[in-house]
Structure 1
């Protein structure tokens, strides 16, 4: 028992993942009932996500002077857009190179109940702002929650500077500490929860669909791996740190992201490791990471651009330079305000497919492997958000190199 307790949480999660795959293959549909426990674990984490994000953004913005927020905000936006566009471009390039859409044959597939967005660009922009913050919180509309939190934090910052009164900011900070502690306690049962999530997925889906679409998954995995290497090198050079140490310090959050397929669930671990392993100040991490979770979806951008190229190959549709550029831009824009829990990728795909003249019913081809492609997407999302926070911290002289090199 003592030896088990000495195994790190990261290793426990990895063991649980492998064990879940093996049990799912052996027992197949018999383990479907375990999904209840896995769903309970997800809900325990998800129930605090909205208030965690809201509190983190309010505290981060409220702690800043107004002019600091404008300067940092511009830097964050530039790095977010740069990383997302790079991910989408790599997805297109590897789609053209490996051609995963050639030879995919699935007979009798039916479309899932996924509807593309019918909103105009104007309606999408207006929908960024909540009519009712309570309703936005109840619906877990992250982009609306963040817009409210930014304005609330800005107002709090102005009042703090003018009246020299930080009582409410202290209350928000204390509340955030309680939420983080609660999530930390829940994460102690993460190996059990993750095992009970993965085993039923493998058991009910089977490895047949994986074999059929293995080429797409393999292409996505190679693209994600290359992006991470390039992006970590860029970050290490910019921040003047060891790329090997950077990868080591981000290992735990990457494993949690890979196994849960949820940026929201990984966020508490991300903030904790950002402070304790990477040396990022709380002020920067609590501002950049929640924003990145909603606005910077590198993994989704890569998934969408690769899926577009794959389906074009599947239907023998030739894509010129103009269509490929459009695919990159649409994949980048579709990431704004995307759902941060498993399944959001299919909804985003249903939104961009009609804009390029591709049939939405073909989305069903990827629905069966959405969980597995979500593993790669989430790792890219989480790691890119963290590295941007590291870059901003280095720029603002709020990166503790002693903590990073411990």
Structure 2
């Protein structure tokens, strides 16, 4: 029997919550800051499972592969991450040269910056990618270190896949991943309330003036992110002979969650669901590429750091040469590999980029005032491009289910044994 009452989609509820948040924020002003705790609870609930989600997804993805496939799939994925992120960084540099966002900026009060900068040279940063105590890494939310451990755990499971102990542990991890995803689905029912509180509080306390303060910076960032997003959709569609409009439409839930939460970590389970159940990416590809992409494939963050580097250099009247611009592009790419996939983590990444590029760290305080607004478009590109690269990898591996892609409803892909 057909249900006469049509169920409202979660994405629709989140859009309505966002619009209402803006309206209430503008009407009631700073008073809406009092409900921010509701949004903070939502983000905490989502973030509490991220470490387990990343560890389980990567361990399962690698552990389920044959050893001969790991080098091919992993190398292909990392290669796409590096090339595409480098391209995004230079798009940001070029647009900043054209738009000149740091020229003529006045009336911007330096916001307080309380982030912690890593000490040492780039080699020290590289060493810090590797955990010395995985429990400590998990408790501190050092996702990159968790990823490194998960890769080794997955490799060990792959080597022992045909042995009794390896098979048992891999099966346990698969079951654990199902439970974690169910926890996240439960939490997502609270999403409209949390999103309303977050949007209303930031709009009410910051107002429109904050958005206008660094308008040219936001314009350069937005143009860059949208240009790269459009190009990535076209490249993916052309490579897989897919309908670009249908592909974009399939990303609806991912886009809404990314824009409303400004968090790649919170968006991860939704983008994995879109990749697997709406687009047709195989589980083994999706659960390797998407969690890795959360930290190693941040196109939006790369553009943000690149635009910020040029903006700060222009703001402080620092003379720049072609080699300086090239340095900004490369350093912006490297800085994203230390990305913190939570709201506000971009300021730390920005500071790392400034430090490596030799720019005044005072620039971080200037950018902090508009970082929340920048995070909207930045996170959108970060998470959507992760999904698109998972699609590209799936196409290259002949693991894109066209029946799922052409379906108008989500389809649960059966696990391939």
> Is the 2:39–2:196 contact (alpha carbons within 8 Å) kept by the matching residues of 1?
yes
Is the 2:264–2:341 contact (alpha carbons within 8 Å) kept by the matching residues of 1? yes
Write out aligned runs for 1:218-297 (5 A).
Answer: 218-297=219-298
Partners of 1:3 and 1:86 in 2: how far apart?
50
Q: What residue is the counterpart of 1:175 in the other structure?
A: 176
Q: Secondary structure at the match of 2:104?
A: coil
**Could you tell me how far apart the structure 1 residues matched to 2:357 and 2:58 are?**
36
Question: Which residue is 1:96 aligned to?
Answer: 97
Find the aligned partners of 1:122 and 1:100 in 2 and give their Cα distance: 32
Mean Cα displacement is larger for which, 292-301 or 308-317? 308-317
1:306 matched to 2:307: yes
Q: How many residues align?
A: 405
Aligned to 1:349: 350
> 2: CA distance between counterparts of 1:242 and 1:50?
35
Aligned residue in 2 for 1:17: 18
Per the normalisation by structure 1, the TM-score is 0.96
**Aligned residue for 1:75?**
76
CA distance in 2, matches of 1:268, 1:107: 37
CA change 1:4–1:354 in 2 (3 A) is farther
Question: 1:235, 1:391 within 8 Å by CA — same for their partners in 2?
Answer: yes
Tell me which residue corresponds to 1:146. 147
Q: Which moved more, 1:13-22 or 1:49-58?
A: 13-22
Describe the SS at the equivalent of 1:6. Answer: coil
Following superposition of structure 1 onto structure 2, how do residues 14-93 of structure 1 map, counting pairs within 5 Å?
Answer: 14-93=15-94
Give yes or no for contact 1:354–1:360 (8 Å, CA) kept in 2: yes
CA shift in 2, pair 1:110/1:277, >3 Å: closer
Q: 1:373 to 1:151 in 2, by over 3 A?
A: same
Q: SS at the partner of 1:143? A: helix
Cα separation, 2, equivalents of 1:60 and 1:371 = 33
Cα distance, 1:107 vs structure 2: 5.4
1:128 deviation in Å? 1.3
RMSD of equivalent CA atoms = 1.7
Partner Cα separation in structure 1 for residue 9 and residue 294 of structure 2: 26
Which moves more between the two structures, 237-246 or 277-286? 237-246
In structure 2, runs of 5+ residues without a counterpart are 408-417
Q: CA deviation at 1:52?
A: 0.7
CA distance in 2, matches of 1:3, 1:260: 32
State the Cα distance separating 1:102 from its structure 2 match: 1.7
Shift of 1:6: 2.5
Whether 2:189 is the aligned partner of 1:188: answer yes
Q: 1:111, 1:362 within 8 Å by CA — same for their partners in 2? A: no
SS in 1 for 2:190: helix
Shift of 1:303: 0.1
3-state secondary structure, aligned to 1:161: coil
Cα drift, residue 366 of structure 1 = 1.4
Q: 1:202 maps to which residue?
A: 203
What does residue 388 of structure 1 align with?
A: 389
Mapped to 2, the partners of 1:189 and 1:3 lie a distance apart of: 25
CA contact (8 A) 1:117 1:350 kept: no
Which of 49-58 and 342-351 deviates more?
342-351
* Mapped contact 1:37–1:193 kept (Cα < 8 A): yes
Q: Secondary structure at the match of 1:206?
A: helix
Alpha-carbon separation, structure 1, partners of 2:137 and 2:402: 39
1:100 Cα deviation from its structure 2 partner: 1.4
Output the TM-score relative to the length of structure 2: 0.94
How big is the shift at 1:337?
3.2
Distance in 1 separating the partners of 2:171 and 2:113: 47
Q: 1:211 is paired with a residue of what secondary structure?
A: helix
| Deviation (angstroms), 1:384 | 1.0
* SS of equivalent to 1:92: helix
Residue pair 1:110, 1:361 contacting (<8 A) in 2 also? no
Shift of 1:377: 1.2
Cα 1:215/1:156, change in 2 over 3 Å: same
